[in-house]
Structure 1
Amino acid sequence: MKIDLEHRQSAHCESGVTSNLLWKASGGKITEPLAFGIGAGLFYAHLPILKFNGGPAIAFRTMPGWIFKRTCRSLGIPVIRKKFSSREKAKEFLDEQLASGQPVGCQVGVYYLSYFPKEYRFHFNGHNLIVYGKDGDNYLISDPIMETSTMLTSYELERVRFAKGPLAPNGQIYYTQFSGEISDDRIRESIKSGIKHNVFNMLNIPGPFAGVSAIAFSGKRIKKWLSKLGIDKAKLYLAQLVRMQEEIGTGGGGFRYIYAAFLQEAYAYLPQPELLEISKMFTRSGDLWREAAIQASAIYKGRLGSQADFDKMGDYLFEIAELEKEAFLALKNIKWKA
């Protein structure tokens, strides 16, 4: 039992799942960058009270599931989403959808994904993939961040669908049965809506823990980590930031590159020169995030470790915060042509 679904590798799991599930319905119009931008996927949060894998809770993206939800809602596409308390019912429902020819998205935990390299397996439950068929006891898997499609046994799939811990997926499954047409006008309005939503998330959430304010907040905290925590714990905190940046999907730098690509693709629907100029700013932001990750890695590996090195790391985040603030203000101030 195999559903006709083209596996296309993507940079990020949920935007890849979204574009792949909507590919046919959109006639190939909804690419990964468009899904990421319409779904307002770019974000940053630093919650110092919460701990994740022994370090501060830092996020470079919106909550799992929101990109698919926002993209579909903006495009006028109904979403079906279910969670389960029973593993048996979760498997039964999945098999019913596959038997009817319906590919489905699943939120899963990373730690027990057998096809992931061991160095990338850790306790994170916000990964997304598509199940598009079954061969005996094996499920056919299209994981957008993998080069080719793959398989999981029924036991392996159940294990990752019911992973424990923060963001536990509880067998979550989501899909759409939309078969209508997505017009260019609808895409144009959805692009504007996605930009507006992302501008709000990065500029207007109160407090220092979300958006561009949180990036600067992280920079201030990093400058204090060495004296406050000691070198060993400070290194672990920096490792946590790099892990969240570079290993969860595409991480902080990669997400900025996707958003830059979104603005370039948006230009094809809304040909306003500002979009191309702001796209360059997000590419520069992505470059800075990558440079910051190199600095943090050097500290973690012991090649650097002075207060000046931590100050330099903090300064990177100050520069990124100012650049992204400027970019989102520019997006906010665009006067859309009729």
Structure 2
Amino acid sequence: MESQTANFNHLQAAHCENGVTTALLAHYGVHKLTEPLVFGIGSGLFYIQLPFMKVNGGPAISFRTMPGLIFKRTCKSLGIPVTRKKYRSHEKAMAELDERLRAGKPTACQVGVFYLTYFPKEYRFHFNAHNLIVVDKRDDNYIISDPIMEGLVSLNSYELERVRFAKGAFAPRGQMYYPGDNLKEATDEQLRQAIITGIKRNCRDMLHIPGNFGGVSGIAYTGKQIKKWKEKLGDQKARSYLAQLVRMQEEIGTGGGGFRFIYGAFLQQARQYLHMDELLDLSKQFTAAGDKWRDAAIQASGIYKGRLTTQADYDNMGDRLIEISALEKQAFQQLKALIKKAK
């Protein structure tokens, strides 16, 4: 049992699904992937504000693709078989996980964050799209590789079952997933084609998603909405909406500014496989967009903490997002034109 844990290399990552995908595939034999490559191949960069939906009483905003897609797309691009299971029965969900662990097979799970006992209390939100790897079981304790944590952590059986069956939006329903066994290392040509596919899909999602509330158009949509919040909602609710925006961007794992930095790193690493020097300049553009997202978060924090209170402050915040929208639109248009040249 000890060797099973010792043989697993825990990876601390900027985002949970990136980290789970990278660490799990490495354990089963695919070692060339990095967190940025996984994020780019999986077309993880996204933006949407769902206008008729609320999360925790605030706007439903996401900076990422649907949970599970990064893992699914990365594996599909590299020809890796995937098994994904959801359960009605708590007992069956725990028994099948235990069976895999007895066979020495670390397994990924989608869980809710709110009852993760090893998380600091300020990071526990009702967010059900968190990913982790269950590495081993010792007595009643499960050894967990959570990419957000510095090292391995543990949950007892009651705690793990509780987070696997958290209620609410994106309820995980005991979901566990894993790749096939004894995978072959990815070839450079496989990675090259996977990168091209991932970039083309990400350009499509950010430039051509229907409607005005997704992709780069969605960022501008939110900016315009912010300018109306103070008058429409009143100070207290408008401030809580901005707090929600920052929470989704910086804390919950949907990754606003941080995702732009990861995508910039992806384009740098993609250059090794595509041999296109223009990717370095595009990488800098996405990094600059990430900086502007971080600056916008500081502006939003000033408003919801009561330091900035005027309509001009809300207008400033909205204008920042409209500017980011234009920057990302330009970067994705250039990237779309460039990737058409790749064979």
Give the TM interval when normalised to the shorter protein: over 0.9
- Deviations 1:175-212, CA, capped at 9 Å, x for gaps: 01242231110000000000011011100111111100
Spell out the pairing of 1:61-210 with structure 2 (5 A cutoff).
Answer: 61-178=64-181, 179-210=183-214
> 3-state DSSP class of the match of 1:129?
strand
Shift of 1:249: 1.8
Matched, 1:319 2:323: yes
**For residue 48 of structure 2, what is the aligned residue in structure 1?**
45
Offset, 1:215: 0.1
8 Å Cα contact 1:11/1:250 also seen in 2: no
Is the Cα contact below 8 Å between 2:9 and 2:27 reproduced in 1? no
Counterpart AA for 1:74: S
How far apart are residue 248 of structure 1 and its match?
1.8
Deviation at 1:28, TM superposition (A): 2.1
1:149 and 1:238 mapped to 2: Cα distance? Answer: 34
1: distance between equivalents of 2:330 and 2:312?
A: 27
- 1:288 lines up with 2:280 in the alignment: no
- What whole-Å deviation, never above 9, does each CA across 1:244-268 have from its counterpart, x for those lacking one? 0001226200011011111111111
Q: Which residue of 2 aligns with 1:336?
A: 341
Q: Which amino acid aligns with 2:96?
A: F
Q: Hey, what's the Cα distance between the residues in 2 that align with 1:241 and 1:24?
A: 35
Cα distance between partner residues in 2 of 1:212 and 1:26: 36
5+ long unaligned stretches in structure 1: none
Question: Could you tell me whether the CA contact under 8 Å between 2:32 and 2:185 is conserved in 1?
Answer: no
- Stretch of structure 1 that moved more, 177-186 or 317-326: 177-186
Paired letter, 2:188: D
Are positions 1:59 and 2:62 aligned together?
yes
Query: 1:207-246 maps to which residues of 2 (within 5 A)?
Result: 207-246=211-250
- d(CA) in 2 for partners of 1:27, 1:14: 16
Shift of the 24–131 alpha-carbon distance from structure 1 to 2, 3 Å rule, reads: closer
Give the counterpart letter for 1:301 in structure 2: K
Instruction: Output the amino acid matched with 1:272.
Output: M
Is the CA contact 1:137–1:153 (under 8 Å) kept in the aligned structure 2? yes
Give the letter aligned to residue 148 of structure 1.
G
Are the counterparts in 2 of residues 34 and 265 from structure 1 also a CA contact under 8 Å? yes
Aligned positions of 1:228-307 closer than 5 A? 228-249=232-253, 251-307=255-311
The 1-side partners of 2:253 and 2:244 are apart by 14
Question: Are the aligned partners of 1:39 and 1:71 in contact in 2 as well (CA < 8 Å)?
Answer: yes
Structure 2 gaps of 5+ residues are none
2:32 maps to 1:21: no
Deviation at 1:6, TM superposition (A): 0.3
Q: Does structure 2 conserve the Cα–Cα contact (< 8 Å) formed by 1:257 and 1:283?
A: yes
Deviation at 1:27, TM superposition (A): 4.5
Q: Secondary structure at the match of 2:31?
A: coil
Once residues 62 and 333 of structure 1 are traced to their aligned partners in structure 2, the CA distance between those partners, rounded to angstroms, is 23
Q: Identity of paired residues, percent? A: 64
- Which digits, 9 at most, give the CA deviation of each residue in 1:56-86, with x for residues without a partner? 1000001111100011001110100000000
SS of 1:28's equivalent in the other structure is: coil
Q: Hey, what's the Cα distance between the residues in 1 that align with 2:280 and 2:151?
A: 32
Amino acid at match of 1:68: F
By how many angstroms is 1:26 displaced?
5.0
The letter for the 1-side match of 2:54 is K
With normalisation by structure 1, the TM-score equals 0.98
Maintained 8 Å contact 1:9/1:16: yes
Structure-2 separation of matches of 1:145 and 1:165: 22
2:113 and 2:126 in contact (8 A); partners too: yes
User: Aligned partners of 1:274 and 1:96: how far apart in 2?
Assistant: 49
CA contact (8 A) 1:25 1:182 kept: no
Aligned residues: CA RMSD: 1.0
Query: Matched residues in 2 for 1:228 and 1:59: separation?
Result: 23
